[in-house]
């Protein structure tokens, strides 16, 4: 990808000995470690080399994280083979994004900070359009759909990541909410209290309802019957 090629080593390996480290190996090690936990020392230890050896291939930790993030982004899975229906492409894109950003929260920070640049996004958008255009979508329409899916998926991933991380001190969502309400006067926040079971027990897959609505809206604009909702998910009921 333009401007993001891995740096070539400035020092030739000793004749007869294979290099112990490469830029591709550094990126692979970073992905294995997890982007939020990457340090130069961790990468070097995993590869069995010294930290100075890494500087022959990458400039710093930020470059490692950026290159690893781009690889993860471009790898986002599209439906295998030709999708039978365009909704499979849209849903596959959304699910892939949510899974990726939830597994690697550091990617959310990279997107928010604008440090990834457009290269990774353009690579994936091209794949998305290639999967969608055989179903009668023109590229401009496909890009609008991709933007809508991305906004939905990133929001879902941020919510899921926050729920998993808990609040300050590592307290769970439920215990934090109950403690906060206990500090307030009993007459405060009456509407929140009236819907407390739903507030405490959020369905982490609720975002899929919004995805179904997005798919139904696309179908309506095309004059099609809405595709069936994605199977295999029963709506979670709030605990009493």
At 4 the pLDDT is 43
- CB-based contact 218:91 (threshold 8 Å): no
Query: Can you give the CATH number for the domain in which 110 is found?
Result: 1.10.357.10
pLDDT in tens, the chain (240 residues): 333 444 444 444 445 454 578 888 999 999 999 888 899 999 999 999 999 999 989 888 888 888 888 777 767 655 555 668 999 999 988 988 888 888 888 788 877 777 666 777 787 888 899 999 999 999 999 999 999 999 999 999 888 887 776 655 567 778 888 999 999 999 999 999 999 998 888 787 889 999 999 999 999 999 999 888 766 554 444 444
- 162 and 94 within one domain: yes
Query: Can you give the CATH number for the domain in which 55 is found?
Result: 1.10.10
Contacts of 151 (CB under 8 A, 6+ apart): none
pTM of the model: 0.70
3-state secondary structure string, the chain? CCCCCCCCCCCCCCCCCCCCCCHHHHHHHHHHHCHHHCCHHHHHHHHCCCHHHHCCCCCCHHHHHHHHHHHHHHCCCCCCCCCCCHHHHHHHHHHHHHHHHHHCHHHHHHHHHCCCCHHHHHHHHHHHHHHHHHHCCCHHHHHHHHHHHHHHHHHHHHHHHHHHHCCHHHCCHHHHHHHHHHCCCCCCCHHHHHCHHHHHCCCCCCHHHHHHHHHHHHHHHCCCCCCCCCCCCCCCCCCC
- 199 and 87 within one domain: yes
At 236 the pLDDT is 42
- 214 and 104 within one domain: yes
The angle at the Cα of 73, spanning 112 to 158, to the nearest 5 degrees, equals: 40
- 190 and 89 within one domain: yes
- 133 and 97 within one domain: yes
- 144 and 41 within one domain: no
Q: Please name which of 226, 212, 237, 211 lies closest in space to residue 154, comparing C-alpha atoms.
A: 211
At 227 the pLDDT is 87
- CB-based contact 210:159 (threshold 8 Å): no
The domain tally of the chain equals: 2
Range(s) of the domain holding residue 207: 77-221
């Amino acid at each position: 990808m333009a401007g993001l090629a891995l740096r070539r080593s400035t020092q030739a390996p000793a004749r007869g000995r294979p290099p112990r480290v490469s830029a591709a190996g550094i990126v692979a090690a970073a992905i294995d470690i997890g982007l939020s936990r990457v340090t130069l020392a961790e990468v070097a230890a995993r590869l069995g080399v010294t930290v100075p050896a890494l500087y022959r291939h990458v400039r710093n930790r930020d470059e490692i994280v950026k290159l690893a993030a781009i690889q993860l982004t471009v790898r986002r899975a599209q439906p295998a083979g030709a999708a039978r229906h365009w909704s499979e492409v849209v849903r596959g894109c959304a699910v892939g994004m949510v899974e990726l950003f939830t597994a690697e929260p550091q990617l959310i920070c990279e997107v928010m900070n604008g440090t990834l640049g457009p290269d990774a996004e353009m690579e994936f958008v091209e794949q998305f359009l290639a999967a969608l255009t055989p179903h009668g979508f023109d590229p401009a329409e496909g890009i609008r759909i991709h933007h809508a899916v991305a906004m939905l998926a990133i929001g879902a991933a941020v919510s899921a990541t926050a729920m998993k991380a808990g609040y300050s001190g590592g307290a769970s969502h439920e215990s934090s909410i109950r403690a906060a309400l206990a500090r307030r006067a009993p007459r405060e926040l009456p509407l929140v209290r009236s819907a407390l079971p739903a507030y405490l027990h959020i369905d982490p897959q609720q975002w899929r309802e919004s995805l179904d609505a997005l798919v139904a809206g696309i179908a309506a604009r095309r004059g099609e019957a809405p595709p069936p909702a994605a199977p295999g998910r029963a709506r979670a009921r709030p605990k009493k």
